[in-house]
Amino acid sequence: MLKVVKIETYHGRIRVLNNVSLDVEKGEIVTIIGANGAGKTTLLSTIAGIHKPRSGQVYLGTVQTSCMPVQDVVKAGISLVPEHREVFDSLSITDNLKLGAYHRYKTDKKSIDEDIENILSLFPALRGREDQLAGTLSGGEQQMLAIGRGLMAKPKVLLLDEPSLGLAPLVVKEIFDILVSLKKRGTTILMVEQNAKAALKVADRAYIIERGQISLAGRARDMLQDARVQSAYLGARLHA
């Protein structure tokens, strides 16, 4: 479904991504884990069209999206829920969700109210507060709103950048439970996380990124058991 082929992305003269390839199948949750500054966010931004790769391609199905401007990438079916959530804080919950459907507003106006209803049933915490300003929500609620807003675009692949950032453990669990239920509904998810344990528990497959390169790829279940992964990302000590 989503295929990233030998991407190289630069910030000015610094090469942030070096020969990164990965793929995500329909209906999968794939996670990318890595330390701060490894290039996770840049990778998602490149897929979403915010950064243009200097070489390499991104394909969604058979469509090459890496040469498109952001708004066309969104239209093609890739929706990014950014790091720090970035909700429209002085707009209401409903307006945030409506703006999520911006690219299909002209063509698909009628179904938008119905879709908002669906999102609210997915995130009951937001229901009944539709007119509340997004900036007044708690961190977890803002994350739910950001995910809901991303889903309003009806993406083929949903990209999530650090959905657990700055959230209490219980809230993290709630968010990840929702991701699992999204997967059951057929949503394809590519997620970047520093909370490796939580991410590997819900993911089907995982990639580990180190200094801009994919250093390890495999099934999430296997990675949870992998000694190197455990010592580097899961906080376990190696017993020498």
Partner 1 sequence: MSLSSELLQYLLSGLTMGGIYALVALGFVIIHNVTGIINFAQGEFVMLGAMFMVTLVNAGVPAAGALVIAVILVMIVVGLIEIGAIRTARKASPITLIIITIGLSTAIKGIALLVWGTNPYKLEPFTKGGPIHIGGATIVPQSLWVIGTTVLVLALTFFIFEYTYWGKALRACVVNKFAARLMGINPQRMSLLAFVFSAALAALAGIVIAPITYVTYDMGLMLGLKGFVAAVLGGLSSTPGAVIGGLALGIIESMGAGLLSSGYKDGIAFIILLLVLFLKPGGIFGTSGTKRV
As given in the structure block, the two tokens for residue 88 are 């429209």
- Give me the least distance between CB of 116 and partner 1, in Å please: 13
* Whole-angstrom distance, CA of residue 149 vs CA of residue 86: 11
Decide: 81 and 160 in contact? Cβ < 8 Å: yes
Q: Which is nearer to partner 1, 106 or 184 (CB)?
A: 106
- Give me the least distance between CB of 78 and partner 1, in Å please: 10
Between the two ends of the chain, the Cα-to-Cα distance in Å is 42
* Whole-angstrom distance, CA of residue 159 vs CA of residue 47: 9
| 108 Cβ neighbours under 8 A, 6+ residues apart | 101
Residues at the interface with partner 1 (CB under 8 A): 48, 50, 69-71, 74-75, 79-80, 82, 86-91, 95, 98-100, 102-103, 105, 149, 153
- Give me the least distance between CB of 97 and partner 1, in Å please: 11
Q: Which is nearer to partner 1, 149 or 205 (CB)?
A: 149
Q: Which is nearer to partner 1, 86 or 222 (CB)?
A: 86
* Whole-angstrom distance, CA of residue 22 vs CA of residue 7: 9
Q: Which is nearer to partner 1, 48 or 116 (CB)?
A: 48
